[in-house]
Chains A and B, each alone.
Chain A
């Protein structure tokens, strides 16, 4: 079964603290993984994809096939990072499967 699990519904940290949003997946093939973000009153948008191995707004995510994880990390959280974050997996058929989302709240 293809599944994406984000175990934390809400993650609250203070500004400047490290943040890690957890994502685990279940997929029999070679996964393509993404993180999408939805800021308040904005559309859901792509944050980063694992194939690009890029860092966006200070966020990185490493695919760990052994642990079937794709956790999103940032060493120093900023207040503007407060948003809803969704981990997603793309299957060979072009379908994007989302996790339930984690709300990140960064307090001053």
Chain B
């Protein structure tokens, strides 16, 4: 089991471009979480998804950010018209549906977005 896979590991975009970050959860996991870590700050929750459903998007900025977790394929975090303030490390985590409330999250290595 390769663990949670995120790509790209590093992404450079110019202001106004789009950024797409992908996350493949661990085998057998159907819950995906996205977190953002800004410089000098902790991990901030963004969104919690299950296959084809957004469960909790309370941490997502209202504009430009969207996330999906389709029936097939990886989860995608999409940032449109990026600005310099979007520069951060974006972490994906997954968990097993059987673990419920007490579930351990398994993290990817993160995708570092730099906006020029």
Contacts and interface: CB of A to CB of B under 8 A. Distances in A.
Interface of A: 6, 32, 36, 43-46, 49, 51, 86, 90, 92-101
Interface of B: 3-4, 31, 33, 35, 41-45, 48, 55-56, 58, 91, 93, 100-109
A92 B3 contact: no
10 contacts: A32-B101, A43-B108, A49-B102, A51-B102, A93-B48, A94-B103, A95-B58, A98-B45, A99-B42, A100-B42
Contact of A98 (B42, B100, B101, B106): B42
Contacts of B109: 43
A94 B31 contact: yes
Contact of B43 (A45, A86, A90, A94): A86
A43 B91 CA distance: 10
Given A43-B107, A100-B42, 8 more contacts: A6-B42, A32-B101, A46-B105, A86-B42, A94-B55, A95-B45, A97-B45, A101-B43
